[in-house]
Amino acid sequence: MRISVVFVVLLMFVGGCASTPEKGVSEKQQLTDAMTSVRDGYYDNAIEQFKTLIKTASNPQQKTQAEIGLAYAYYKNDDFELALSTCAQLIEQNPTHPQLDYVFYLRGLSKTKQGELHLQRLFAAKAPTTDYPEELREAYGYFSELINFYPQSEYLDQVYQQIDTIRQRLAKYELHLAHNQLALGNYQEAAHHAEYVNKYYTDNTSRKYALTIMIKSYKALEMPQKLNAAERQLRELTYQQE
């Protein structure tokens, strides 16, 4: 989500807070200042400003908005664990908050970023690994919860895009593992990873690559029935794309 949208989302609720006196105006200004710090990229400053407001706010609504702002500032500052724990606390303590779908969305984004960083490290590893970017699967689950709990959420378009990207990333990594195992002569393991992609992913390019690895593995393993089936699937898939 663009920072300008987040700024507006939080600002909507600043104006709706009770406006008593000087203190109320001061708290609203603190929240606005903290959001401006996030918008301008001063994340450490914003984090401290939000924390201060959370401690001192007399208006519960402003305190909650500061907590949402803090979660976003943590996310922008790459403090993903802190962003996730703040989102989890918000979800637990504010089950009926009108912006809770955004908190679910931010939780999914934070976990996705963790998974992408993990994935980069795995792809960069020179030796084959059995490690797996489980954070991406968790992010998928978080986004699925948002869809289930908030089917009318304004964030659904972005959520579906995130889910599609996660699926592409996971398919790519499964194929990476399959390729490594094939190169090592571990044909059973290579076939296993390729079969997973062919079964659970709908991207035709990924499936064609998976079927190619399956065919090579089945030939090496002398499994004619599976080999014939994989070759038939590859022909059908190629024909559909022509």
Residue by residue, DSSP assigns 96-118 as: T-TTHHHHHHHHHHHHHHHHHHH
What token pair was written down for 82?
A: 């802190």
Beta carbons of 73 and 43 less than 8 angstroms apart? yes
The stretches in the chain having pLDDT less than 50 are: 1-4, 13-25
* pLDDT at residue 20, rounded to an integer: 37
Beta carbons of 230 and 218 less than 8 angstroms apart? yes
Where do the domains of the chain lie?
1-80
* pLDDT at residue 16, rounded to an integer: 43
* pLDDT at residue 228, rounded to an integer: 98
* pLDDT at residue 127, rounded to an integer: 72
* pLDDT at residue 125, rounded to an integer: 82
* pLDDT at residue 86, rounded to an integer: 98
* pLDDT at residue 225, rounded to an integer: 97
Distance (Å, whole) CA 227 – CA 211: 10
